[in-house]
Amino acid sequence: MNTPDTCSREADGEPVLRAGRLPRLLPQRLGGGPASWVEHRARYGGLPVPGWDEGWRGRFVAEVGRAGLTGRGGASFPTARKLRAVSVGRDAPTVIANGTEGEPASAKDKVLLAREPHLVLDGAALAAHLVGARQAFVVVHEAVREIVDRAAAERRQARHDRVRLKVMTGADRFVGGEASALVNWVGNGVPLPTATPPRISERGLDGRPTLVQNVETLAHLALIGRYGAEWFRSLGTAAEPGSMLVTVIGGVRRPGVYEIDIGQPTGEILELAGGLAAPLSALLIGGYFGTWAAPEAVLPLPFSADGLSTVGASPGAGLIAALSADSCGLAESARVVRYLAGESAGQCGPCVFGLDAIAGALEDVAAGRSFRPDLLRRWMGQVDGRGACHHPDGAVRLIRSALRVFGAEIDQHAQGWCSGSRRPGVLPVPPRRRP
Amino acid sequence: MTAAGARLRVDMIACDGRGLCAEVLPELITLDDWGFPIIVDRDIPPGLMAGANEAIRLCPLLALQLDRAGANAAAQRTTSPGRAG
């Protein structure tokens, strides 16, 4: 993979992206703004010219497998397996790059697209080549749509891509990033998940096998295309190689998006974000489908699926929300669960009615009105795993961890006290939509 | 018809919570607190196969199905609640 003509800058001496070093996806650009096509090519060099034969595809997918790249949208599914799954059918597959980032607390996909749009488009084009697709849909958050449009226009003008890249704005909904909902959004403008089976890798957009990959995953793919598996594995752990983008929000001095070496201690990531602005009571790890953890338990742990598993957490889509001690974790959780209940696609009874009931019960706990742990647990059991998509499961995961980590606070609330002295709002929640 | 490896499966998007299935087949189907069916997590025993077919036939929304590869499908479902990666 790593031949001189595919890694043009190596001829000048040091390769641009040295093994074992950050940054990969988010270099510091002194001028600011998105990297233009010319700047992008000057920095990273050209993508290897893809061969059209099956042999080339097979070899490259094997290289992605050796790299150990997994999905960066939250589910961490091995990318090589997805690439193979859509390639076995008779129909030509379709590729969808998922840059919808419907999660209100997360910004990493938007920041990546705003700064290095061409890296994502490289990856989308490469993925399309790999699975034999003629076009790739690039679905992005409206905040970065113009930037991505401009990047796509630059490439068209340069006549670079042999596949058609079609840029679209994602549905402004939490569930809009769920893979089957995204397929429906692209296909018919309705961002609703569908029941499995069929899986979208077998029958997705227009009935074709469909590859849905997060935009960060595609950016990594574009780098593996240039520098190969061994280079990719020079960061991260043996089980979870590479770098990843994390969004750090809450009680740190410089909230923002940072690229980390997977397995870096969680506390070190907070240092990247300027360090703590105040003492913490807890951290939400992964996203709104993630897990609350106590600071002393989670800060020393490697930020990786393996490392975080000891506190029942996982990196998910890379969110770290630091909750300062003057905030109430119960109130924050209740707000997020109310939001998630409102973001149900409204299709499956247990999700529609169950999440609403659970959100109400949590609001009661947060307000000190009542705490009925048996009922709450019963409802969570009746909601977990019972939707067509994983929306209810993710919400339940968040709540279970809140009950675990904020147990002492629940007792306080039952007696009429709350340790939070600020209005909840560390975890951003968009205004409620009209039904 | 043999029942080897067969399970009941609800298409939760289609299901409206009418509850006929749980009335016909309480041995394998209960209802949650909002009236939506919870399927017992095991293969349909031969003695209940007729009842299972009756429940499927009675569902006005055709939301109840026989899933012959039920055990496999359950194992293949991704367990992580993450987003498409």
Sketch the domain layout of chain A as residue ranges: 4-232, 243-324, 329-414
Q: Hey, are the CB atoms on B13 and A382 less than 8 Å from each other?
A: no
Query: Looking at chain A, which residue has its C-alpha nearest residue B31?
Result: A382
**CATH code that applies to domain A4-232:** 3.40.50.11540
CA distance A206 to A155: 26
What is d(CA A350, CA A377) in angstroms, rounded to the nearest whole number?
Answer: 14
CATH class for the region spanning B7-76: alpha beta
pTM, to two decimals: 0.91
Express each pLDDT in A108-154 by its tens digit: 999 999 999 999 999 999 999 999 999 999 999 999 999 999 999 99
Chain A: nearest CA to B35, how far in angstroms?
A: 8
Average pLDDT, chain A: 92
With contacts defined as CB-CB under 8 Å, which chain A residues touch B59?
Answer: none
Query: Which of B35, B77, B81 has its CB closest to that of A289?
Result: B81
**B9-65 tens-digit pLDDT:** 999 999 999 999 999 999 999 999 999 999 998 999 999 999 999 999 999 999 999
> Hey, CA dihedral for B21, B25, B28, B30, is it positive or negative?
positive
From chain A, the residues in CB contact with B35 under 8 A are 349
For chain B, report the end-to-end CA distance as a whole number of angstroms.
41
CA closest to A291 among chain B residues: B81
Q: Flag if B83 and A179 touch (Cβ within 8 Å).
A: yes
Judge contact between B25 and B9, C-beta under 8 A.
no
Is the pLDDT at A7 greater than 80? The verdict is no
Residues of B in Cβ contact (< 8 Å) with A308: none
Q: Is any Cβ of chain B less than 8 angstroms from the Cβ of A104? A: no
| Domain extents in chain B | 7-76
Closest CA–CA distance from residue A248 to any residue of chain B (Å): 18
Quick one: pLDDT band at residue A15, thresholds 50, 70, 90?
A: low
- In Å, how far is B77's CA from the nearest CA of chain A? 9
Q: Specify the CATH class of A329-414 in words.
A: mainly alpha
Q: Is the pLDDT of residue A236 over 90?
A: yes
Tell me how far apart the alpha carbons of residues A110 and A75 are, in angstroms, rounded to a whole number. Answer: 19
How far is Cα A318 from Cα A304, in angstroms, rounded to an integer? 10
> Cβ of A349 and B35 within 8 Å?
yes
Q: With CB atoms and an 8 Å threshold, state whether B80 touches A382.
A: no
Verify whether the Cβ–Cβ distance B32 to A354 is below 8 Å: yes
Q: Which residue has the higher pLDDT, A384 or A419?
A: A384
Contact A391, A350 (CB under 8 A): no
- Judge contact between A181 and A189, C-beta under 8 A: no
Q: Which residues of A282-304 are buried (b: 16+ CB within 10 A; e: fewer)?
A: bbbbbbbbbbbbebebbbebbbb
* CB–CB contact B80 A197 (8 Å): no
Which CATH number is A243-324 given? 3.10.20.600
pLDDT digits (tens, 9 = 90+) for A263-313: 999 999 999 999 999 999 999 999 999 999 999 999 999 999 999 999 999
